[in-house]
Amino acid sequence: MNNPRVSLEQWRVLQAVIDHGGFAQAAEHLHRSQSSVSYAVAKLQQQLGMPLLQIEGRKARLTVAGEVLLNRSRQLVNDAVELEALAHNMEQGWEPQVRLVVDAAFPSCYLMKALKQFVPLSRGTRVQLNEVVLSGADEALVEGRADLVIGHQVPQGYLGDQLIEVEFVAVAEPGHALHQLGRELGNDDLRRELQVVIRDSGLYMKRNTGWLGSEHRWTVTSIDKAVEALLSGLGFGWVPMHQVQSYIEQGRLKPLPMSEGQRRHAYLYMIFGQPGRVGPATQQLADILRENCCNE
């Protein structure tokens, strides 16, 4: 791979000549002599083997090739500035990346709002987002694959704060057989029908939650797929209320008229992956998530 012959400083000088209207103005802006500015541009054109500027009167205008290359050079210089800023922030302790693991039951609207607020404060820190179900959050912590976790429980050896309460509701499509019974439902009624269950994404710490009394169960990999199955009339199941509220209001899903257990509540907790060594970017994101959940 050939090394670049042109420096970032040469592109910056060319940008100044165009942006400030001439060599003298660029020299004043850059606090350099006019001769050094002229030399830098001349050397740039020589190294590229093509004219980038044409002189019209007292003004220098870009050639067609010069305009194309100048536009590309702006992004090049901006990237270099951002790279140096990122290096400075890392030197100050800011992490280059935050590994965020979130249980699928956490409301997506809260998550996206928090991430949007984090962007202008992130100082170039990237977020690696991983959605899990149940013990998938625990395993990410235990295996050291997460800096910040939102999960259903706090594993042994970790500390966590209660973040939000999620309501799960048993629903089925209005035409489902359970709704045709026209009465309160009990365990025996549910056992006869197909139950849609969301699979635990963990590999070796799997656990079951909620009612699993039906002998006829189909398992899906996500809450979204569970909702799709319920909307199609495939079966019944417990899903987060915030995921199906609009479908209930539209009449596309209907809560099951159960004598007990129609709704259940679960808490989600915020847990740091490296307690005592939380980086500023991770802390910033955690604060935003916590504030959004408190406000809601």
Look at the pTM and tell me if it is higher than 0.85: no
Helix intervals (H) in 49-107 = 64-91
| CATH number belonging to domain 8-91 | 1.10.10.10
More confident residue, 274 or 151: 151
In this predicted structure, what is the pLDDT of residue 162?
Answer: 94
| Average pLDDT score over residue span 181-210 | 81
**Six-digit token string for 212:** 């699993």
For domain 97-163+271-295, the question of CATH label 3.40.190.10 is answered with yes
- Tell me the pairing of strands 97-103 and 148-151: parallel
Do the two domains 97-163+271-295 and 164-267 of this chain adopt the same fold? yes
Residues 6+ positions from 199 with CB-CB distance below 8 Å: 133, 219, 220, 221
Summarize pLDDT for 94-149 with one digit per residue, the tens: 788 899 999 999 999 999 999 999 999 988 889 999 999 888 888 898 888 999 99
CATH C-level class of 164-267 = alpha beta
| 140, 130 contact by CB (below 8 A) | yes
In this predicted structure, what is the pLDDT of residue 236?
Answer: 94
Residue spans per domain, the chain: 8-91, 97-163+271-295, 164-267
| Average pLDDT score over residue span 270-287 | 89
More confident residue, 176 or 52: 176
Summarize pLDDT for 230-254 with one digit per residue, the tens: 999 999 999 999 999 999 999 999 9
| 226, 196 contact by CB (below 8 A) | yes
In this predicted structure, what is the pLDDT of residue 54?
Answer: 81
